[in-house]
Chain A
Amino acid sequence: MIRLTNVCKDYQTKAGPRRVLDRINLTIHPGQRVGILGRNGAGKSTLVRLISGAEQPTLGTIERNMSVSWPLAFTGGFHGALTGADNVRFICRIYGVDFEPRFEFVKDFSQLGIYLDEPVGNYSSGMRARLAFAISMTIDFDCYLLDEVMAVGDETFRERCKYELFEKRKDKAMLIVSHSHRYLRGTCERFLLFREGQVEEYDDFDDVYFQYKEMLGEAFESKEQMVAAMQ
């Protein structure tokens, strides 16, 4: 379980401190899949960073009794001078797990072949994304964080990612940030809409998406019309 109690997060801006999240209370249970929607800058990624532990809240507490992944397919942790294999080794070392079987898996899954022995700095962004996703799948977490990741790679690779995540790991908790209705609908059972530092809870995708569209100024006249438009 992950529990956020009265969590606030401020960032310094030139215009003074800005409260991005304001007294958020939230509990994520094991196995729950939570979809997150909101405008750019509404605090979605901030929440992901707080839950992953990369940042500390300004106020409030975060309890974690589940192991939480780093944001999936996150390429920022790679060092350009290190090879793909070195980066896998680094991850295995910090998580204290065996390298060999995981490297086999990464080789198999990323299909990067001989490029795994080349510096990551020479990779294309697509190759980087493949490597990052494959590495993310080598450590078993109770809760996975996905921040706008499914746009990576080609169609077949995306399908493999989907299978790896949502079929093999169906019992895991997930926090999924996305703007795509195709992606969130049917995947998540619970939705959070970020609005002005607050979080609104929804159980039904059509409800949350209707509100979200309205917030973006692309409102539909009714929910039925929206559902029809999405087909």
Chain B
Amino acid sequence: MPNNEPATAAPVGRLLRDNSWTINRRVIGALLIREMLTRYGRNNIGFLWLFAEPMLFTLVLTAFWTATRSIHGSSIPIVAFALTGYLSLLLWRNMPNRCINALQANMSLLYHRQVTITDIYYARIILEMMAATTALIVLFIAFFALEWMNPPEDVLQVLGGWFLLAWFGAGLALTIGGLSEKWDVVGKLWPSVSFILLPISGVAFLADALPPKVRDVMLWLPMLNALEFLREGWFGSAIKAHYSIPYVLLFNALLTFIGFSLSRQVGLDSSQA
């Protein structure tokens, strides 16, 4: 018969006393570790995929670009171009992917009083942000060591652009995640929508290369604006960037507001499922 009770018991009332910020941080931290373990596993092979996939993409694009140099004659630093494009896409696109139907998969965690559905969203968003950022840093260091790419001309501007993309992704994730709990069809349609957004969000082109009329239409996409801003920070004077930061800020703020309301609503209706 086990009889080591006082050692195992948490002080009564402590669960009630801690303020909600402490609890939120604790819960999100715990969820983050849980997500990391279940996604990447304990052996490091799973974790390596985080870098392998964007690395392969960058290499394939670089090879293709180099092979066709005689046709396009462009002198853009292709490795940096492909890397920033693809990782930006991963950054904002994977967050919604991970938040779709997040409630259904984690409903049982809500039995713990301090776990809320928004904590689950935040943990998943933060994990994606960390994953994409780690991939960017590691791959940059690798390609820099190989002398395939130059460091950014303006690090702060790159960080700013990266932050804007992450913010956009977070707002989008809360919105899409919240909608997907209300209407299944949103979760089903999102892969198609993100597939359509893939080629037009600047992964493989610069806005300057587009005809002005097309460009004006395309710049309604906030992620293209943010990516242009990021690339201007990276390449500096080598390219001519087109963007409006106030537009991105406004769009992100609005999207975040909608996302907060929708994801909170999920918490309130989680019982309907």
Q: Which residue of A lies closest to B39 (CB)?
A: A81
CB distance from A125 to the nearest CB of B (A): 16
Name A36-88 residues within 8 Å CB distance of B.
49, 52-56, 58, 65, 67-68, 70-71, 74, 76-77, 79, 81-82, 86
Q: How far is the CA of A212 from the CA of B108 in the complex (A)?
A: 30
For B268, list chain A residues within 8 Å (CB): 56
Tier of interface size on chain A: 35 or more
Name B11-52 residues within 8 Å CB distance of A.
11-16, 18, 22-23, 26-27, 29-31, 33-34, 37-38, 41
Q: Are A12 and B7 in contact (CB under 8 A)?
A: no
Q: A70-B112, A93-B26 are in contact. Are A81 and B38 (CB under 8 A)?
A: yes
Tier of interface size on chain B: 35 or more
Give the one of B110, B268, B270 with max A CB within 10 A.
B110
Q: Are A93 and B30 in contact (CB under 8 A)?
A: yes
Name B98-147 residues within 8 Å CB distance of A.
107-115
Name A12-42 residues within 8 Å CB distance of B.
12
Name A121-173 residues within 8 Å CB distance of B.
137-142, 160, 163-164, 168
Interface-lining segment among A101-109, A177-185, A192-200, A214-222: A101-109
Q: Which residue of A lies closest to B38 (CB)?
A: A81
Contact of A71 among B9, B15, B111, B272 (CB under 8 A): B111
Contact of A76 among B10, B41, B111, B272 (CB under 8 A): B111
Contact of A74 among B15, B30, B37, B111 (CB under 8 A): B111
Q: Are B30 and A94 in contact (CB under 8 A)?
A: yes
Q: A70-B111, A95-B15 are in contact. Are A55 and B38 (CB under 8 A)?
A: no
Q: Which residue of B lies closest to A87 (CB)?
A: B34
Q: Which residue of A lies closest to B23 (CB)?
A: A96
Contact of A54 among B7, B10, B16, B110 (CB under 8 A): B110
For A109, list chain B residues within 8 Å (CB): 2
The 3 A-B pairs of least Cβ separation, nearest first, read: A76-B108, A93-B30, A55-B271
| B residues at A contact (CB < 8 Å) | 1-2, 4-5, 7-16, 18, 22-23, 26-27, 29-31, 33-34, 37-38, 41, 107-115, 267-268, 270-272
| A residues at B contact (CB < 8 Å) | 9, 11-12, 49, 52-56, 58, 65, 67-68, 70-71, 74, 76-77, 79, 81-82, 86, 89-91, 93-97, 101-102, 104-105, 108-109, 137-142, 160, 163-164, 168
